[in-house]
Structure 1
Amino acid sequence: MGNKKTTAFSGAVLAAVMLTLPACGGGGGGATGEVAAPPSDPKEVSGEIKVLTQRTDLVQSGALQEYAAEFNKVYPNVKVTFDGITDYEGEVKIRMNTSNYGDVLLIPGAVAKNDYPKFFAPLGTAEELSKYRFSDKAEVDGKVYGVAQFGTANGFVYNKKLWRRAGVTEWPKTPDAFLAGLKAIEEKTGTTPYYTNFKDGWPLVQWTNNLGVVGCDAQAGNALAGPVSPWKAGGELNTTDGLLYDIVKQGLSEKDPTTTNWETSKALLGEGEIATMMLGSWSITQMQDAAKKAGGEASDIGFMPFPVQKDGKHCAALVSDYQQAVSIHSHNKPAARAWVDWFTERSGFAEKEGVVSAVKSAPMPATLQDFVDNDVTFFDRSETKTAAVNDIDEAAEIGLNKQDYRQKLIDTARGAAKGSLQDFFADLDKRWDEAAKTAGS
């Protein structure tokens, strides 16, 4: 996955998937509790560290090596090498059955949150790491074991020209207004208003990253940790999944979802053949590139928040990307920690990629300027109860962070599967609530 699709999987998709896979065994057993503390004097830090990455494209292009050269201006005695891994999840999961999985790595989804102390060195206390966004995602018993590479906002990436040609010049404020906008696009432009990316599947997980936008509630994810009927009327998932259902039910998406193609979708949006897709803000630069290749301008591509408002304002959830961690087996923890801190705070990586910096005090990227200008409320969705929510989700066999249930939702909406939306949601609620009574017991 060394192409642009890697960027997609490194963003909100894997952020959502991170803690849903079964825990991997073996391999732990380093000096548990030894803090990988930030070094006080850069010139006293020396040695070699290996950094594992899923961004094979940045290794092949030499871009990461350029970052390392900049790092060496501050830490001249540290040699940084990179190991770009195509099947990152699969390969690193295997390596972690040994003690040899690099000095710095991205925490794989196969590691259960409560097992972090077995594999990674703590970076400090929750208070010490509070300057970073999403630190609670890697917090175990008051210690933090990972720092996010970056964050991403969620919303709809769209072709501004098509929405303007349809007469829609303001962001829809309600799901009904959004549907009316899609209908106008179909009627006035003859293009496909919405593209599901059904076949590749993983883009459907992006809908889960809207948790919290309906109520502008940072605790919306944690609120699922119990028999709470998540798809009940008025609930977050009822509103978001209900909109996806209505888009398809009303014939506002592609004719045959089984033939969609992710790579093709970028070109189609850039060319103005399709108007809208639900994705994280990591996708904006890719769509802008596609627009330029089609002879258009980067400014043809816009990003709009989910069509609901709280107290007269749109809201956008910020979610974590992969978390950078230091291996508990690293023989050079000071240099490894130095790399994590420098890459997060001083490399400029997040700014260059057009994503949200993990540093709370950093400004929003240019890709989200429209959100800033229009006073969209950003919130970091809390992850303190993620492990419990994932246990329920797994026991219920629903898969909030997998594509299957939304593919069935789309099939139900288009008549390829039997049943009504109400029955579909009722079944999900029943399974969730029953699982919540037994999960973790």
Structure 2
Amino acid sequence: MKKKSVLLGSVILMGLSTALAGCGGNNNNNNNAASSSKPASAAPAASAAAGTSAAPAGEDTNISGKVTFLTNRTDMIGKEYDEYVKRFNEKYPNIKIEFEASQTDYNQQMKVRMASGELPDLMFIPTIPNSDLPKYFAPLDDLGLNDQITFKDFKSYEGKLYGITSGNSTSGIVYNKKAYAAAGITELPKTWDEFLAACEKLKAKGIIPLASNFKDKWPINNWVYDAPRIIENKADFPNDKLNTDTPFTMDNGYGKSFSLLRELNEKGYLEKDINSTNWEQSKKDVASGKFAAYFLGNWVINQVIGAGAAAEDIGFYPLPTDNSGELRAALSPDFFYAVNKDSKNMDATKAFLKWMLTESGYEDFAGFISPIKGKESALPQLKEFQSTGVVLQEGTPDNAQVIDIQNKAQIDLPAIAQEFVLAKNPESVFDKWNKAWAKARKEVLGQ
């Protein structure tokens, strides 16, 4: 898998690390936001709908102060950040926003600054235990957003909210509409059988139905982290491994998901040689219609457009994993905002944070699904995705003991999926890794 401190008088925000522009993927089912490894996308223009609005009743727009925000979005300096500051100051004219650009590893930089006690007013939460949140960050319950935000419990401790996601991502079929039209696909698949039928039509037209980039391993992450819990219809499914010596079976989420990928390969719906693929070239091939689609996160939409496709020619819909007709998709958070508990500009910082979440339109710029529940995206592809009636399943935090066992057993889920797809006897692959898991589980749990 793959995946900036200069003080500038501008404004703010966060998002995916732009250094990731090539490739990457989650290294578990729910990455801690500050260590997100999803590739950054070339962002579209901010939503025009995200204009300045009058302050809500009772909201003090005369708050004054200076807010320093530490972000990794150096690409927005002098561009979108300036536009955000201008709009924010139309509502809060007495608050000055200063933007601090993180030029190094954000997670590590934050930990160094936490140790020294030199924190900005607004930042993203690094990889620390939730029990440490009160040591550094202020509760955010007084923003009045607790009933509106997604992933409310991810960065909470003892009933208090300390972090709010800056945006969310999901996974699905990012497809070339022209390729689908050329193959005579007039309706988007809602069942697995319909998806296979669409793939067959594409194959018959000489179009590769799905670019897997199998050899690179990380592009199949969605098959191992998202699809299993969607198939089980259980957000906490990955943590169920803690309670068994045989977490990998043919009839649970892992076996069913890996079998779907195996079936696509056996039917010739992936690259002709899945052991010889090229990520950068695949984006051009999906953009041109040589390849019809990806099963990846919504972050890849703008990368395909950046590779030459017209925006109106790229669509996005949920992958149907069974024949029930019910569409589900995994929802994952990105970086989580937090406010320095020792900030001398607490009210100003919280006003800016709330504005960022509810009025900035940053989620549309970054290609995210809004952190606010039920808010419709301004991006055509995400609007198309949401219009299918898909049920978005919020992920749950990874169990620490599951991670310990997984590491001790040297479990690499994407690698196991590769082995499963290519094996003569896929069940034997599971047998091997179940033994490794059971041994490590006994050592970690002492059972």
TM-score, with structure 1 as normaliser: 0.78
Determine the C-alpha separation between the residues in 2 that align with 1:313 and 1:412: 27
Q: Which residue of 1 aligns with 2:175?
A: 158
> 337, 353, 356: which is aligned to 2:350?
337
Q: 1 CA distance for matches of 2:330 and 2:160?
A: 24
Question: Which residue of structure 2 lines up, in the alignment, with residue 26 of structure 1?
Answer: none
The amino acid that maps onto 1:53 is T
1:264 is matched with which residue? 281
Matched, 1:50 2:60: no
| CA distance in structure 1 between the aligned counterparts of 2:21 and 2:328, rounded to whole angstroms | 24
Give the match for residue 203 of structure 2.
Answer: 186
Residue 171 of structure 1 and its aligned partner are, at CA, apart by 3.6
Once residues 280 and 113 of structure 2 are traced to their aligned partners in structure 1, the CA distance between those partners, rounded to angstroms, is: 30
Q: Give 3-state SS (helix, strand or coil) of 1:319's partner.
A: strand
Q: Which residue does 1:41 correspond to in 2?
A: 60
Following the alignment from structure 1 to structure 2, what is the Cα–Cα distance between the partners of residues 324 and 15?
20
**Which of the residues 210, 217, 236 maps onto 2:253?**
236
Q: Which moved more, 1:299-308 or 1:130-139?
A: 299-308
Matched AA of 2:211: Y
After superposition, where does 1:53-64 map in structure 2 within 5 Å? Answer: 53-59=71-77, 62-64=79-81
The C-alpha deviation readout for 1:115-140, integer Å capped at 9, x for no partner, is: 33333333239996232111111122
Distance 1:238 1:345, change over 3 A: same
Letter in 2 for 1:188: K
1:169 corresponds to which of 178, 181, 186: 186
Residue deviations 1:24-43, cap 9 Å, x none? xxxxxxxxxxxxxxx96332
Contact 1:157 1:276 in 2 (8 A): yes
Contact 2:239-2:399 within 8 A present in 1 as well? yes
Partners of 1:227 and 1:171 in 2: CA distance: 38
State the one-letter code of the partner of 1:371: F
User: Could you tell me which of 105, 108, 115 is aligned with 2:123?
Assistant: 105
Tell me how far 1:397 sits from its aligned partner: 2.9
Question: Do the aligned residues in 1 keep the contact of 2:191 with 2:323 (CA within 8 Å)?
Answer: no
Kindly indicate whether residue 382 of structure 2 is the aligned counterpart of residue 371 of structure 1: no
| 8 A Cα contact 2:191 2:325, kept in partner | no
Note closer, same or farther for the CA distance 1:268–1:119 as it changes in structure 2 (3 Å cut): farther
* Alignment equivalent of 2:300, drawn from 277, 280, 283: 283
3-state SS, counterpart of residue 175 of structure 2: strand
Identity value in percent: 31
Counterpart secondary structure, 1:82:
strand
| Pair 1:240–1:433, CA change in 2 (3 A) | same
The verdict on how the C-alpha distance between 1:182 and 1:348 changes in structure 2, with shifts beyond 3 A counting, is same
How much is the aligned-residue C-alpha RMSD, in angstroms? Answer: 3.6
Could you say which residue in structure 2 is the equivalent of 1:149? 166
- 1:316 is aligned to 329
Task: Using the TM superposition, give the Cα deviation of residue 155 of structure 1 relative to its aligned residue in structure 2, in angstroms.
Answer: 0.9
- Comparing 177-186 with 368-377, greater Cα deviation is found at 177-186
Q: CA deviation at 1:347?
A: 0.9
The one-letter code matched in structure 1 to 2:418 is: I
Structure 2: which 5+ residue stretches go unaligned?
5-16, 36-57
- How many angstroms apart in 2 are the aligned matches of 1:266 and 1:336? 40
Q: Counterpart amino acid of 1:103?
A: D
> What do the CA deviations read for 1:311-368 (whole angstroms, capped 9, x no partner)?
5321122221111112345443333322221111111112344421111142244423
Superposed CA offset, 1:361-406 (max 9, x none): 422444233334332223323x25644543443344324xxxxx41
For 2:376 and 2:151, how far apart are their aligned partners in 1? 16
Shift of 1:46: 1.0
Query: Partners of 1:319 and 1:9 in 2: how far apart?
Result: 18
Tell me, what secondary structure is at the counterpart of 1:137? coil
Alignment of 1:294-305 (within 5 A): 294=309, 297-305=310-318
Equivalent pairs, count: 407
Q: Counterpart of 1:205 in structure 2: which amino acid?
A: N
Query: 1:249, 1:20 → 2: CA distance?
Result: 38
Q: 2:264 aligns with which of 235, 247, 272?
A: 247
The answer for the alignment partner of 1:81 in structure 2 is: 98
Q: Which moved more, 1:5-14 or 1:207-216?
A: 5-14
Letter of the 1:368 counterpart: L
1:380 partnered with 2:376:
no
- 1:303 deviation in Å? 1.5
Judged with a 3 Å threshold, the aligned counterparts in structure 2 of structure 1 residues 267 and 437 are, in CA distance, closer, same or farther, namely same
Q: 1:178 to 1:135 in 2, by over 3 A?
A: same
Q: Which amino acid aligns with 1:425?
A: F
TM-score, scaled relative to structure 2: 0.77
